[in-house]
A and B are shown apart, each in its own frame.
Chain A
Amino acid sequence: MQSNAALEYDYSVAKLFVYTTIAFGFVGMLIGTLIASQLAFPELNYLFGEYGTFSRLRPLHTNVIIYGFTLSGIWAAFYYSAQRVLKVSMAESKFVMFLGKLHFVLYMIAAVSMVVTLLLGITANKEYAQMEWPLDLLIVVIWVVWGLAMFALIGIRREKALYISMWYYIACFLGVAMLYLFNNMEVPTYFTSGGLGSIMHSVSMYAGTNDALVQWWWGHNAVAFVFTVPIIALIYYFLPKESGQAVYSYKLSLLSFWGLMFVYLWAGSHHLLWSTVPDWMQTMGSIFSVVLILPSWGSAINMLLTMKGEWNQLTENPLIKFMVLASTFYMLSTLEGPIQAIKSVNAIAHFTDWIPGHVHDGVLGWVAFMIMAALFHMAPRMFKREIYSKKLIEAQFWIQTTAVVLYFTSMWIAGITQGMMWRAVDEYGNLMYSFIDTVTVLHPYYAIRALSGVLYLTGFVMFAYNMIKTMTSSREISEEPQFRSPMA
């Protein structure tokens, strides 16, 4: 091993993913705000003809946020932090560099095709796995390229001990690979029918109840391995680094890792309570969802205790604010999820707005907050300039926090109202409300949610502006900051 004085970490791939995080984040949240408004004001469905209806746009919103914004953010942070915790620069290996760039190029092709096909209505129609088979194949290739880049980087590392974040990245890689392959098993109809019909079309290998099981095994774990596992990887690196405090308990982080791995996969069938899947499996899903609180809270408490004795940073450093609130929202949604998975609660909550409410306090409060904080932390080190405006971050923080609170409170009320009205009977045992009664009653809550969408989007635009200014015109810094990110 020779030491080279001029050797530096190479952030070129990480930078590319930073740009796409901002772009996809804006597009995804814009569509989200639009479809939230459509539920309150249905006239908005007719802005772009057939391509502007709620139903056509909804998968676009979820896919752009999951596979555009979140994955970009994870990969930006990965190509930044993996080098640092392994103490090896990507510039040291042409192979890793090539893989990193190939990863980005293929990813962009897939992302653009995804947007186009979903708008055209070319879809396999399984939630969060809507892409048709040619795109699925491309995604497999992208995933393999990422895996190769990760293991190649691990192979040439100087720090032989793997930091906890790397464990989570590896788990993300393996988990998604397995689940994605199983769930997207499909037969393209063009080849089996002697060249008839659309070449894009395929049928699922599984039918009915089986398909539902495989789908929710995936659907739930897409949440686990895209929205939870890699985001924990992020917070385990960025929170200690930004605050200058080592993880409170490294042992606890190892334990919650294994606990999470073991328990999470079982919980998938809680999406299918009261359905036609076997009873014992539903019960299993219920029980393990509750057990899941332990490892989730293990991680979250570990993060909060990392700040022990340094709580003053919470008032001084807005990035710490973002990250602490993110772990708090993580605790909230990992408590809320198991509550919804209890069979009797699920009977009311399932199919109602409480579910999107739950997803969004996780995604807006935990995932997006953590990714934005990570990007803010990386910016001064990547672009060698201080963050453009601290005031703007503070304002953004409060606007977006208000937005999240409005979102989940309105959806709680909406969900429970609707769930109770569906089952309400009068003194003779007849249903009290027709279905449309349970829709019209939700109008005010839908309007509040649309407002919260507008607020969150506003916050995101402030974030994007702040980032772009940081990249281009903020004051340059000569030395890389060690812990706290410098901001004007």
Chain B
Amino acid sequence: MFHWLEKRPFFFAVGVFLVIAFAGLIEILPNFAEAARPVEGLRPYTVLELAGKEIYKKDNCIACHSQLIRPFKAETDRYGQYSLSGEYAYDRPFLWGSKRTGPDLHRVGNYRTTEWHENHMLNPPAVVPGSIMPAYKHMFTNKADIETAYAEAVTVKNVFNTPYGDDIQPGKEAFEKHFKSVVLPEAQKIAADMKNQDVKDAVAKGEIPEIVAMIAYLNSLGDSRYAAKK
């Protein structure tokens, strides 16, 4: 048999492929359905929060911040209840990260406020002396890409059956309607808690700076996405 294989590069390649594919098939596939189930009462991200998640991705926050609280006392004391698989059911992609140069953020919404984030993003060492986090001033001027976030909501609703309401529909018109009736009021609520005048002016004009979406996302990490715990 080995004699036969050694002489046939094609079947040799098939052999290599089977051996390396085997681990994946057994390890990953059977758990798919189970791990995809959300914990009870969890709602999907709003469009504004999704836009914030896009900024979290764009500025690659996972380079330094994890979103995974491990089941150790030292971690639950520091960050809160350890993470459950079903809490990530609406996270595409997952944002666990692999390095904690800064603290874990999986439940940051439970213990930080809009005001805290606003000051911190503008100048981290002023809020946390000794911090080596860079300031993200450009988030106060760049506009968040709400349309792309809305497109993502439509996609996950239609392709992956994420439970969004009926107002999330494809097309420009549906987007404009959703933007005016849902996204903007949500942004105004956050802007009301902020003190930066430029940000307030922009939101009043109907534009949403990145920082507003970002804070919406950070606030959503934690209990506020559970109907019961709110």
Hey, which bits of chain A sit against chain B, CB under 8 A? 38-39, 42, 45-46, 49-50, 53-56, 58-59, 121-127, 154, 162, 167, 170-171, 174-175, 178-179, 182, 187, 189-190, 192-198, 201, 203-215, 217, 258, 261-262, 264-266, 268-269, 271, 274-278, 281, 284, 347, 350-353, 355-356, 422-425, 430-431, 435-436, 439-440
Q: What B residues does A45 contact at CB under 8 A?
A: 134-135
- Chain B residue total in the interface (Cβ 8 A): 86
16 cross-chain CB contacts under 8 A: A38-B134, A125-B95, A167-B12, A170-B9, A193-B171, A196-B147, A207-B88, A210-B32, A211-B93, A265-B20, A266-B23, A268-B27, A274-B72, A275-B70, A425-B74, A430-B77
Q: With CB as the reference atom, state the residue of chain A lying closest to B68.
A: A275
Asked if B99 and A201 make an inter-chain contact with CB atoms under 8 angstroms apart, the answer reads no
Asked if A208 and B60 make an inter-chain contact with CB atoms under 8 angstroms apart, the answer reads no
Scoring B residues 83 to 116 as 1 if CB is less than 8 Å from chain A, else 0, what string do you get? 1111111111111111111110000000000000
CA distance A293 to B9 in the complex (A): 28
Q: What B residues does A281 contact at CB under 8 A?
A: 27, 31
- B151-159, B182-190, B195-203: which one contacts chain A? B151-159
Selected from B9, B93, B133, the residue in CB contact (under 8 A) with A162 is B9
Q: With CB as the reference atom, state the residue of chain A lying closest to B65.
A: A55
Asked if B28 and A207 make an inter-chain contact with CB atoms under 8 angstroms apart, the answer reads no
Q: With CB as the reference atom, state the residue of chain A lying closest to B60.
A: A55
Q: With CB as the reference atom, state the residue of chain A lying closest to B174.
A: A194
Min CB gap B147→A, angstroms: 4
CA distance A99 to B68 in the complex (A): 45
Q: What A residues does B74 contact at CB under 8 A?
A: 422-425, 431
Asked if A201 and B134 make an inter-chain contact with CB atoms under 8 angstroms apart, the answer reads no
10 further A-B contacts with Cβ under 8 Å, apart from A127-B62, A196-B150, A435-B102, are: A46-B134, A53-B59, A192-B170, A204-B93, A210-B31, A261-B19, A265-B22, A281-B27, A284-B27, A439-B130
Q: With CB as the reference atom, state the residue of chain B lying closest to A171.
A: B16
Asked if A42 and B134 make an inter-chain contact with CB atoms under 8 angstroms apart, the answer reads yes
Asked if A261 and B16 make an inter-chain contact with CB atoms under 8 angstroms apart, the answer reads yes
Asked if B147 and A123 make an inter-chain contact with CB atoms under 8 angstroms apart, the answer reads no
Interface assignment of B128: CB less than 8 Å from any CB of chain A: yes
Interface assignment of B4: CB less than 8 Å from any CB of chain A: no
Min CB gap A456→B, angstroms: 20
Selected from B16, B87, B95, B159, the residue in CB contact (under 8 A) with A170 is B16
Min CB gap A394→B, angstroms: 36
Asked if B154 and A189 make an inter-chain contact with CB atoms under 8 angstroms apart, the answer reads yes
Selected from B17, B27, B130, the residue in CB contact (under 8 A) with A266 is B27
Q: Contacts A125-B57, A439-B131; is A276 near B24 (CB within 8 Å)?
A: no
Min CB gap A159→B, angstroms: 13
Asked if A209 and B94 make an inter-chain contact with CB atoms under 8 angstroms apart, the answer reads yes
Interface assignment of B145: CB less than 8 Å from any CB of chain A: yes
Q: What B residues does A277 contact at CB under 8 A?
A: 31, 35, 85
Min CB gap A124→B, angstroms: 7
Scoring B residues 122 to 144 as 1 if CB is less than 8 Å from chain A, else 0, what string do you get? 00010011111111101000100
Q: What B residues does A56 contact at CB under 8 A?
A: 59-60
Interface assignment of B41: CB less than 8 Å from any CB of chain A: no
Q: With CB as the reference atom, state the residue of chain B lying closest to A278.
A: B31
Asked if B94 and A212 make an inter-chain contact with CB atoms under 8 angstroms apart, the answer reads yes
Closest 10 CB pairs of A and B: A208-B88, A197-B148, A194-B170, A265-B23, A121-B58, A45-B134, A193-B151, A197-B151, A276-B85, A423-B74
Q: What B residues does A351 contact at CB under 8 A?
A: 66, 97-100
CA distance A201 to B155 in the complex (A): 11
